[in-house]
C-alpha cells in the first residue's frame, strides 16, 4: 500500500496569523484536504503559537470525529509537560516527538536516540499508556535505530530536509536517498514502521516512495501549501496522492 498523506496545516496557520482575522481558515482548508482524499491532518503547536494555535486543536479533532472518522490526527512537538497535556486533551491518533528548541523556525534534526534514551523512554511509555501511537523524528542514521526501538516507540519519522534541499543536485539527492533507504530498512527490521516528512514535493516524492516501498505515512506542509496557491487545495491533494503512488 502506498504511503498515507497527512497534511501539515502549520503554513496555513502562519499565513492566517499575519492578521487578526479568521482567514485562511485552518479548519476549513483541513476539511477541503480530507474531502479531496488526504488521509490525515498534522499540526505542530509551538509554545509561542506562531503557527497552529492551541485553540485550533479541538476544532480539528471535532472535524475528524464528525466528518472524516477514518482520517487520523497527528500532533507533533517537543515533549514539555505543557505539550503532553495538550496532546492528552485533544486525543490525536499519533504523537510525533520532535527535538525542537522553541526558537527554531522549523524542525531541522532528529533525536540522538542513544544519548536521549533516558529522557524519551518514560515519555513514550506515558503516551502509549494513553493509547497514542508514538513516532520519533529521526535523522537518516541506521546505527541509532536500535536505540529508537528500545524507547518503546511505534514508528520513526525520517527527517527528509537534506533530501529536499538538493532539489537542484540529483547526485546529492541520490546520496540522501541511499541514507534514507538504509535507515528505513533498519527500522523495518527492528519492528518500527516508517514515516517521513520535511520539504517533500510532488517532484521528489515518487523517488522516495520507490526506494522505501514500506513507507507508512508522509507529513507535508510547506511544499503542499505552496502548491495549493497555484492548484487549489483539492487539486493539490490529488497531485500529492498521485506522487505517493495512489
Q: Which of 39, 51, 72, 76 is catalytic?
A: 76
Q: Which of 170, 163, 174 has the alpha carbon at shortest distance from 140?
A: 163
- Other CB atoms within a 10 A radius of the CB of residue 166 amount to 17
CB 150 within 8 A of CB 107: no
76 in catalytic set: yes
Q: Give me the catalytic one of 51, 72, 176, 198.
A: 198
User: CB under 8 Å to 137, separation ≥6 — which residues?
Assistant: 76, 96, 97, 98, 99, 107, 110, 111, 156, 157, 159
Annotated catalytic residue, options 44, 51, 157, 217: 44
Residues in the chain: 246
**88 is known as an active-site residue:** no
Instruction: Measure the CA–CA gap between 236 and 175, rounded to whole angstroms.
Output: 28
- Verify whether residue 214 is a known catalytic residue: no
Tell me the catalytic residues: 44, 76, 198
Amino acid at each position: 500500500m502506498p504511503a498515507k498523506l497527512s497534511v501539515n496545516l502549520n503554513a496555513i496557520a502562519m499565513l492566517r496569523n499575519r492578521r487578526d482575522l479568521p482567514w485562511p481558515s485552518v479548519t476549513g482548508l483541513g476539511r477541503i484536504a480530507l474531502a479531496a482524499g488526504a488521509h490525515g491532518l498534522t499540526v505542530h503547536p509551538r509554545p509561542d503559537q506562531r503557527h497552529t494555535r492551541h485553540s485550533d486543536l479541538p476544532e480539528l479533532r471535532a472535524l475528524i470525529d464528525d466528518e472524516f472518522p477514518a482520517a487520523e490526527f497527528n500532533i507533533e512537538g517537543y515533549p514539555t509537560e505543557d505539550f503532553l497535556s495538550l496532546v492528552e486533551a485533544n486525543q490525536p491518533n499519533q504523537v510525533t516527538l520532535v527535538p525542537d528548541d522553541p526558537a527554531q523556525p522549523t524542525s531541522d534534526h532528529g533525536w540522538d536516540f542513544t544519548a536521549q534514551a533516558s529522557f524519551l523512554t518514560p515519555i513514550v511509555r506515558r503516551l502509549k499508556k494513553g493509547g497514542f501511537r508514538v513516532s520519533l523524528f529521526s535523522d537518516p542514521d541506521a546505527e541509532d535505530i536500535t536505540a529508537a526501538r528500545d524507547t518503546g516507540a511505534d514508528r520513526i519519522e525520517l527527517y527528509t530536509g537534506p533530501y529536499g534541499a538538493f532539489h537542484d543536485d540529483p547526485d546529492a539527492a541520490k546520496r540522501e536517498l541511499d541514507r534514507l533507504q538504509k535507515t528505513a530498512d533498519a527500522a523495518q527490521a527492528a519492528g518500527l514502521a516508517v514515516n517521513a516528512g520535511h520539504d517533500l514535493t510532488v517532484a521528489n516524492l515518487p523517488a522516495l516512495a520507490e526506494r522505501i516501498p514500506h513507507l507508512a505515512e508522509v507529513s507535508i506542509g510547506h511544499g503542499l501549501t505552496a502548491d495549493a496557491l497555484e492548484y487549489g487545495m483539492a487539486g493539490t491533494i490529488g497531485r500529492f496522492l498521485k506522487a505517493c503512488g495512489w
